[in-house]
Amino acid sequence: MSADAPQYQHFIPQFILKNFDHPFSCPKAPTNGSKCKKHHHEKGKYPGDRDVNCLELLPEGFKVEELSIRQVCGLDDMYTDQSPNVKFPRELEAKFSRLESETSAVIRRIISSHQRGEEYVKINRTQQTVLRKFIYLLNQRGSGFFKTYNCNSINDYKKIDRDLLKEYMDRNGIERPLDIWLQGLFEFYHRSRYACDSKLARNSQVDCLLWLISSFPRTHYRILDVLLHPCERG
């Protein structure tokens, strides 16, 4: 895939979607599960492709559609930094992929322990941090936040904190509301991992993190505290 081509980026990781998928079976195939080479198949609907049933609510009712897990719960380039001088536009997506891989391994270990009938599951401090960070970022990286902040300028931002956001952006030389969201997620990824480092610089990215935190629901503060200050807890 070309670096300039749009990249479909999931806000629900595929390792989660795979728990609900099934192999696509062409309705025109002679027998269920057999190869079907004579018919044209849409993308993601080749026999054997991993699909999920998706419910779409419509004004006149609803419909259920079978779609590939590669084509659901995501948007094109939602984590791609479109700033003109950025060196690695998809760095955040790469970091999310790494975190998802680490999280998947921890979850598989937990599931395996339960399947063996073990009463307790033991995971170390690093694995706990991975799970906490993943769960929190899974909420804050969703499509709702993207649609809220995805504006070309502050003039297109419609939330009630617009004046506060504009003042913050002017003070820090930020042109787009989306940059606050992306930089906040980026810094949260690193801040929670290196929370024990007292030498972490207070820079514009940390400021973006703090702005993003200030917009989070109060019910999330407990999780945030554990993520940002793991060294203060036993």
- pLDDT of residue 206 exceeding 60, the answer is no
Q: So where are the chain's domains?
A: 8-75, 79-228
Taking all residues of the chain, what is their mean pLDDT, rounded to a whole number?
Answer: 79
Structure token pair of residue 90: 């998809």
Q: Each residue of 90-99: b (16+ CB within 10 Å) or e?
A: bebbebbeeb
pLDDT digits (tens, 9 = 90+) for 67-108: 999 999 999 999 999 888 889 999 999 999 999 999 999 999
Q: What is the pLDDT of residue 197?
A: 40
- pLDDT of residue 196 exceeding 90, the answer is no
Any idea what DSSP says for residue 51? E
Contacts (Cβ under 8 Å, ≥6 apart) of 18: 50, 69
- Which range has the worst mean pLDDT, 44-58, 111-125, 187-201, 214-228? 214-228
